[in-house]
Structure 1
Amino acid sequence: ATCPAGHTANLGQVKADGARTAQFKRVCTDCLLRGRCTTSKTGRTLNVHPQHELLTAARHQAATDPVWQDEYRRWRPPVERAIAWLVAKGNRRVPYRGILANNIWLHHRAAVLNLRRLINLGLTRTNNTWHLAPATA
């Protein structure tokens, strides 16, 4: 691994999760770029994700592949909109303590948002049967 000043450090042993760490302890002490590089007293530490190569390839594909970019442009707006609906009106944080209560709350919130969306699209009930209004052009 190489720091912004051009110093190199070896990646350490592979950890249990597959991550590796490069430590620039000694070279940081006299480095002129230390203030811009790290605030740590012991020097810069670089953590390398276990899936580093896969993530790098995915970033490269996202930056260069026109098919990927078209798909991203197609699906990002509805996903962002759904997230905005989910966190609207003070729902950015979970309201309860404990995983089970918050899991139930989240599922109910999503169900209500889905039902609201379906009603806005024309969901009606006649003769004990639910119908979605036909799409108009």
Structure 2
Amino acid sequence: MTTERDLKFQNIHLAELHIDRAYLSSHWVTQRDDKLQIFCKAWPVKNSGRFDKNSFFLDWDTHLISCPNQVSIPFEPGKIVHFPQNECAICPLRSGCTNSKRGRTVSIHPDEALMQELRARQSTAIGRQDLRKRTTVEHSLAHIGHWQGNRARYIGLRKNLFDLRRVAVVHNLHVIARMDKVRPITPGIESNSCTG
């Protein structure tokens, strides 16, 4: 792939990925090594006011999921867990968990361990602060998208990648120009700009 080849050519190793949820299924995430940190908002977990997935404990060593009433059954990432109907029927916490006659089900994301990590991180002040760094990226992408438009100008990946990089360079030059305008001038220190 072009991006991987570029990173290798520049001897750059990714330490962090600040992405949105659309990229959680990309090979950058699914085939990542343990050193790569992912910063992304996790998919929201809801259950109409009843116990949501966060109320269940997933033991990654034994691959057992435990409900709030301590009933444990095996789980597999990417599958749906069906708690036993007879256990749910007599459960004292049933009204806060499910109204299904078949018992409670919980969907396990194929990369559920990452989802748990993301949810835990975004529940902390530092984690939310890290997620806000993405705002700068989103604004830059919006500017580039505005200038470039939403259609490819050329036929072929190589030419369109060159066009994207051209627009990104123009955006970076605009950012640098704005930085020079907002930088305060300290009295007694000459400006770097030349006058002719």
Which TM-score applies when normalising by structure 2?
Answer: 0.37
Report which structure shows greater RCO (CA 8 Å, sep ≥6). Answer: 2
